[in-house]
Structure 1
Amino acid sequence: MRLTSASSIMSSISQRSMSSSARKVPLLLTPEAYKKLPKSSTIPLDASWHMPNSPRSPMSEYLSGPRLPRARRWDLDEVAELAGEKNLLNLTHMLPSKERFVEKCRKLGIKDDTHVVLYDSIGVFSSPRGAFTFIAFGHEKVSILDGGLPRWIADGGEVEVGETKESEGVAASEYKGAEDRSAEFIRSYEQVVENSEKGPEGEVVLDHRPLPRYTAEAPEPRAGLSTGHIPHSLPLPFSSYLNPSSSSVPYTSLKSPAELREVLIQGVGGESAWEAVTKGENGVVFTCGSGMTAAVGWLANEVAKEDGSGAVKTAIYDESWTGYASRPESKIIKGKSPA
């Protein structure tokens, strides 16, 4: 492998940074902020993932490059618990067991005090799911590279190219892990069904799939899966949280904390609904196609909270629509949500 300057690939563009005194490290980092981190205690992780109908292979792209220097591969599907009591449908990239998470961290040389920085090859897409996993298992020193690999390249950061071996030069650690908090971060199928039966009195469920899939006007990317949505869930496409990519800015990035808060407020139904959620016992549950982009909603809420812009307690329906619609007993609503 070799290092090359990404400035030869794309021109530098403007940057935006965020920090928080409430966390050990900022949850969101610009490329410039990442460059200032000490290499001795920081490990970048490539958490790229693509939709089932995409021709792209995140592993092939990681191995050939470009990738961040010293990056190791955090394969969201490979680390997941693909069987067992919590994954009866053998769905991909669901939250792993604590034991499996610890085992993966050890193999990658991650220590209990390592600052883990996750990125993906879209901008902000799958890296939030990786960060969500670390925090669910108590590893607070985790950040996301805002704009991901494309922004890193656009901002002139060095990259590695050429094949590499994930274990090359990596010594296994004695990672122990912190408190397992996954139960409070995840909702099961049974909990989602019970919640939907409560109607407006239950937790607010925000569906992050594109609107046409929520309304059943467009097919699901997973063959044979019904379209529609969970009763009493509300549509909020995950793209609502993002600054979109374009020909001049080839990556997605997270909107400002104030903008994120406004997106969340409108998503739950306006100021009065937001106030009810923030003051009540119920929180917000994010869902999507398979539990991946639901984590973008989690990230948006956490970033708003870090900046003091207000936030609510949240969780992710880990199975999301793939698990819900795969069960013949599930109640599915087609069409728009009630006004």
Structure 2
Amino acid sequence: MLVTAHELINDVSSLPTPVILDVRWQLGDTRGREHYWSGHIPGAQYMDLPGDLAGQRNVREGRHPLPSPGDFEDALRRVGIDNDSRVVLYDDCGNTSAARAWWLMRWAGKEDVFLLDGGLKAWIAEGEDLAVGPGNPVSRGDFAFDLDHMLTVGIDDTATWPERGVLIDARTPERYEGRTEPMDSRAGHIPGAVNMPTGNFLDERGHFLPADQIRRMFADAGVTSGSNAVVYCGSGIHACHALAAMAVAGLETGRLFPGSWSQWSADRKRPVALGADPR
């Protein structure tokens, strides 16, 4: 599911070329499209995370609920994706946002979806040029949504998951422990959740760690296949990166709690744990 920058350079010089999507977005930085205009991989189309990879924010479902199947299908068609397209995704933050697009496309039944390991920085490190501006228009694709190829759980199942498996909180330790909460109404974590910050799956260059090292990290948390794991984060974005790390490690991909902490913390009836201890 990973391609290197060198492999992508070879891909774009031969036919058929992959569909390349720029998915730049970070918490607190809503200027992803501006960054794309300032410089992107030639031929890449921009995909807006809040607009294309999430539904409308609401208290009941959280800050970045899953998009409706119809809306997501339309978004993929608009950037030229067909049923048989090979898709390569990238961002400039270790694939922590591009992984959301990867997970959604797999959820929608798209098989040939890959992450550019190291993202835009890896492309630049190869000495390749960037294109500027809004990008070239593409023909509308014919991709057809086929639901539920990736598993999700709702808020009630998430509440009891620590008794049945491993509940993983992919946020930073500061947010997990409740020392800070920049986005949501309450600080802390879901009782019973273990903390596995998704940035820990990356090296200093923003590349995924070796598969065996990631497998050991999950094994230390009690996850040996992924089938017994549920992952959440702040709003369901970075959790997809942890699920992508499972796939990189060769593990069966776990389940996503889409509403994540933004949904849980908004419900005042739900308990909150503070500190480094899961309970």
Q: Which TM-score applies when normalising by structure 1?
A: 0.76
Q: Please list every run of at least 4 consecutive aligned residues from structure 1 whose deviation after the TM superposition is greater than 4 angstroms.
A: none
| Contact preservation (8 Å) 2:227, 2:252 | no
Q: 1:80 to 1:138 in 2, by over 3 A?
A: same
Residue 154 of structure 2: aligned partner: 188
Q: 1:313 to 1:32 in 2, by over 3 A?
A: closer
Write the deviation string for residues 94-151 of structure 1: whole angstroms up to 9, x where unpaired.
3212211111111111111111100002233211111011001110010000110011
Where structure 2 has 5 or more consecutive residues not aligned to the other structure, the ranges are: none
**Residue 257 of structure 1, CA deviation:** 0.4
**Residue 174 of structure 1, CA deviation:** 2.4
For residues 27-176 of structure 1, the aligned pairs below 5 Å read 27-37=1-11, 38-52=14-28, 54=29, 57-64=31-38, 66-83=39-56, 89=60, 91-161=62-132, 163-165=133-135, 168-176=136-144
Residue 14 of structure 1: aligned partner: none
| Distance across 2 between alignment mates of 1:290 and 1:330 | 16
| Distance across 1 between alignment mates of 2:59 and 2:188 | 22
| Contact preservation (8 Å) 2:63, 2:263 | no
What is the one-letter code of the residue matched to 2:249? Answer: A
Write the deviation string for residues 35-77 of structure 1: whole angstroms up to 9, x where unpaired.
122453411101111112x4x611111122x100011011121
Q: Kindly name which structure, 1 or 2, has the bigger radius of gyration based on alpha carbons.
A: 1
Q: 1:220 to 1:261 in 2, by over 3 A?
A: same
Asked if 1:219 is matched to 2:180, the reply is: yes
In the alignment, which of 161, 164, 187 is matched to residue 202 of structure 1?
Answer: 164
Q: 1:334 to 1:116 in 2, by over 3 A?
A: same
SS in 2 for 1:174: coil
| Distance across 2 between alignment mates of 1:320 and 1:90 | 9
Q: Which TM-score applies when normalising by structure 2?
A: 0.91
Where structure 1 has 5 or more consecutive residues not aligned to the other structure, the ranges are: 1-26, 245-250, 306-310
Residue 271 of structure 2: aligned partner: 331
Aligned length: 277
What is the one-letter code of the residue matched to 1:325? Answer: S
Superposed CA RMSD: 2.2
| Distance across 2 between alignment mates of 1:60 and 1:33 | 27
| Distance across 1 between alignment mates of 2:276 and 2:155 | 22
| Distance across 2 between alignment mates of 1:107 and 1:282 | 34
| Distance across 1 between alignment mates of 2:213 and 2:141 | 40
